[in-house]
Amino acid sequence: MTQYWLFKSEPDVYSIDQLKEDTKKYGGTYWEGVRNYQARNFMRQCKTGDLVLYYHSNCKPPGIVGIAKVVKEAYPDPVQFDEKNTYYDPKSSPDNPRWSVVDLAFVKKFKQKISLDELRSVPQLADMKVVRKGNRLSITPVTKKEFEVITSMPHVSAAVLS
């Protein structure tokens, strides 16, 4: 059964356009750098074929910009062992890796971003973690219902006047 997730990314660091490029070139990308146990545990539950709402954070306005899918299930994050990498973790070792990644591939970019404000205005999405104040978790589960509500919004296929 397909599960649904929301992955956050800062567009300055890794945008959906870069994911699209990497998908064209390499078939996808590995989601490096998650260093939070809750987010890691969610990532380890990801199954091939799961669908991902792609959220741009730390930008104006923050919001969901498209859809990705899981193309490879959790395996050790390669950069945790690389001393020169920002995400190097000296407490992790190859025989006992602490952090995981999954591979994601680009599926689609919405015609228009669904901003956080707009998400908050939809009553059926009131329980989503991302609309809650102070939520910092970069990977959160999404219900089928929430995913369907979002992907049937007009932003997905046509520009919306705001």
Stretch that binds DNA, among 69-77, 103-111, 134-142, 149-157 (CB under 7 A): 134-142
Q: Residue 133, interface with DNA (CB under 7 A)?
A: yes
Q: Considering only residues 2, 27, 38, 88, which one is a binding residue for DNA as defined by CB under 7 A? A: 38
Phi, psi values for residue 53, rounded to 5°: -80, 130
Distance of CA 3 to the CA centre of its chain: 13
Q: Considering only residues 11, 14, 51, 57, which one is a binding residue for DNA as defined by CB under 7 A? A: 57
- Identify how many contiguous H helices and E strands the chain contains and give both numbers: 4, 6
Stretch that binds DNA, among 24-32, 59-67, 73-81, 104-112 (CB under 7 A): 59-67
Q: Please calculate the CA angle 47-40-84 and round it to the nearest 5 degrees.
A: 115
Q: Which residue lies nearer to DNA by CB, 40 or 69?
A: 40
Q: Residue 36, interface with DNA (CB under 7 A)?
A: yes
Q: Which residue lies nearer to DNA by CB, 94 or 134?
A: 134
**Tokens 């959220």, located at residue:** 55
Burial class (CB in 10 A: 0-12, 13-18, 19+), 37: exposed
Closest distance of CB 118 from DNA, Å: 11
Q: Which residue lies nearer to DNA by CB, 116 or 157?
A: 116
DSSP conformation letters of 82-136: -TTSTT--TT-BTTB---EEEEEEEEEEEEEEEEHHHHHT-GGGTT-GGGSTT--
Q: Residue 92, interface with DNA (CB under 7 A)?
A: no
Which residues are near DNA by CB under 7 A? 8, 10, 35-38, 57-59, 61-62, 116-117, 133-138
